[in-house]
Amino acid sequence: MRILLADDEPTIAVTLQDALVAAGHEVWVAGDTDTALGLLAAKEPDVVLTDVRMPGKGGLEVLTRSRELVPDRPVIVMTAFGTIDQAVEAMRMGAHNYVQKPFRNQAIVSMVGTLARVRDLEAENAALRAELAAAKPFEGFVGSSATMRAVFDRIRIVAPTDATVLIEGESGTGKEVAARAIHQASARANGPFVALSCAALPETLLEAELFGHEKGAFTDARREKRGRFELADKGTIFLDDIDDMPLAVQVKLLRVLQERTIERIGSEAERKIDIRVIAATKKPLRKLVDEKRFREDLYYRINVVPVLLPPLRDRIEDLPILLAHLLKRHGGSKRHEVPQQTLGLMQRYRWPGNVRELENSVQRAIALAPASGELQTADLVPLDERWRGALEVDDGEVRPLREVLRKREIEHIKKALAHCGGHRSQTAELLGISRKVLWEKMRDFQITAPGEAPPPDEETPAPH
């Protein structure tokens, strides 16, 4: 610690200085108030030790000046017998502590040592908080793989700017989550975040939805309407599936990006807008440009900062923490465990639907879980024949695949029937099959619904 020691008694000052220096501190000594004030400004000490009574205005002046310069700098006041009232006043003025003379030098050394440890801990905590803030995934994003850390780094860099961002990635990789993360980490976080899928609307409706319209602009325009660009003013607009945007609308979007103005349908008045544009595509736009299905000038306008989201199969090491996150999100108060063997099987699957498919599997497994809360492997891993045969693990005996699949299918249908209370239509819908197929399987496998006898043959639904 860098210490200013202000005391006009040389014996006290010299011996205390020696003790502090021996403990590893750096000490400057002042014998009067003016010298102390000069050292206070010149040396910028970490701690001030000052006697109350000194030539000049005294220790309270040193305390006051120290507080003005560095409000949280510790000041320890030393008092002689009969000046305890001044020590109390010093504490009221913000002194860290006081000691009464005569004192043992080791008591001051211990007090300063404690302050040094507190300072070091605070610095360490600040560094850790900064490190965690830098490493912490954004809300909705989970992952610690190298590929996802690169995504987080890119978002942190681009978010504070107003640059247009193009997010590329397969369906289900979390492109809207990434867009929201960029918005929340930007200076526009308090503004609106407006999302629109360009694939969800036909060309005429998409144009009206983006730019708005005046009353009477077309047959069904019974009142004026603000478009998504206007609604996103002072905030961010997210254009998902921009690869599906019609060429005619692309021309108008290009003008918005160039001029930052819009015209409602049915109006010639230009309206200024202050927006940040984030677009997302599931297809390579460069290829669409080459095929003349996407405007090249617009491509360069929106591809200012690209962010590529990897598919789940390329960051499969993230699956365990993704799974834990989704179980916590959808599991409610119940605690659900996934066997290590099931986890290994899930990591072998390629997850063509990416994180969205994984989330659907988790929701299905939780919905179909028995009262014990035990999740079934068949619900967590897609019921594809290539995978169902790997679900059976017993004493190591290898059985015919048909036998394994039959057993697992019977168990799954029984569980679905129990979950739906024996209601066949609901069970068929839950399993993703027709009621006729369900009836046939129940007949072939001799499955009985809860509280029901096996269905007679004449109940077979008539073929369509």
- What digits encode the pLDDT tens for the residues 423-449? 888 888 888 788 888 888 888 888 887
Pairing of strands 275-281, 261-262: unpaired
Residue 392 CB partners (closer than 8 Å, separation 6+): 399, 404, 407, 408
- Predicted confidence at residue 395, as pLDDT, reads 44
Find the range with the poorest average confidence among 72-76, 181-185, 215-219, 325-329.
215-219
- Predicted confidence at residue 397, as pLDDT, reads 55
Distance, in Å, from the CA atom of 74 to the CA atom of 309, rounded to the nearest integer, reads 50
Q: How confident is the model at residue 392 (pLDDT cuts 50, 70, 90)?
A: very low
Distance, in Å, from the CA atom of 256 to the CA atom of 275, rounded to the nearest integer, reads 10
Closest by Cα among 320, 284, 308 to 174: 308
Cα 176-363-149 angle, rounded to 5 deg: 40
Distance, in Å, from the CA atom of 393 to the CA atom of 377, rounded to the nearest integer, reads 11
Count of beta carbons in the 10 Å neighbourhood of residue 384: 9
Question: Nearest 10 degrees: CA dihedral of 76, 80, 82, 86?
Answer: -20
Q: Give the position of tokens 């193009």.
A: 166
Distance, in Å, from the CA atom of 87 to the CA atom of 95, rounded to the nearest integer, reads 9
Mean pLDDT across the stretch 232-241?
96
Cβ pair 362, 337 in contact under 8 A: no
Whether the model clears a pTM of 0.75, i.e. scores above it, the answer is no
Query: Angle at which helices 84-92 and 59-69 pack, to 10 degrees?
Result: 10
Distance, in Å, from the CA atom of 365 to the CA atom of 410, rounded to the nearest integer, reads 17
- Predicted confidence at residue 295, as pLDDT, reads 94
- Predicted confidence at residue 25, as pLDDT, reads 94
Distance, in Å, from the CA atom of 153 to the CA atom of 133, rounded to the nearest integer, reads 11
Distance, in Å, from the CA atom of 65 to the CA atom of 434, rounded to the nearest integer, reads 84
Distance, in Å, from the CA atom of 244 to the CA atom of 206, rounded to the nearest integer, reads 11
User: What are the C-alpha distances in Å from 14 to residues 6, 19, 383?
Assistant: 11, 9, 83
H or E element in which residue 196 lies: strand 193-197
Residue 220 CB partners (closer than 8 Å, separation 6+): none
- Predicted confidence at residue 386, as pLDDT, reads 47
What's phi and psi for 114, nearest 5 deg? Answer: -65, -45
Cβ pair 176, 139 in contact under 8 A: no
Cα 284-289-290 angle, rounded to 5 deg: 100
Encode burial over 62-77: b for 16+ CB neighbours within 10 A, e otherwise. bbbbbbeeeeebbbbb
Mean pLDDT across the stretch 205-216?
88
Q: What tens digit of pLDDT does each residue of 4-53 get?
A: 999 989 889 999 999 999 999 999 999 999 999 999 989 999 999 999 88
Find the range with the poorest average confidence among 136-140, 153-157, 232-236, 385-389.
385-389
Distance, in Å, from the CA atom of 380 to the CA atom of 206, rounded to the nearest integer, reads 38
Residue 132 corresponds to which tokens in the numbers above? Answer: 């965690």
Find the range with the poorest average confidence among 122-136, 233-247, 342-356.
122-136
Cα 290-292-296 angle, rounded to 5 deg: 70
Query: Angle at which helices 175-184 and 146-158 pack, to 10 degrees?
Result: 40
Cβ pair 39, 68 in contact under 8 A: no
Rg over alpha carbons for the chain, rounded to the nearest Å, is 36
Structural domains of the chain ordered from first start? 2-127 (3.40.50.2300), 157-310 (3.40.50.300), 313-459 (no CATH)
- Predicted confidence at residue 400, as pLDDT, reads 67
Average pLDDT of every residue of the chain:
85
Distance, in Å, from the CA atom of 257 to the CA atom of 259, rounded to the nearest integer, reads 6
Closest by Cα among 86, 48, 97 to 69: 48
Cβ pair 211, 194 in contact under 8 A: no
Closest by Cα among 94, 98, 27 to 64: 94
Q: Give the amino acid at 178.
A: A
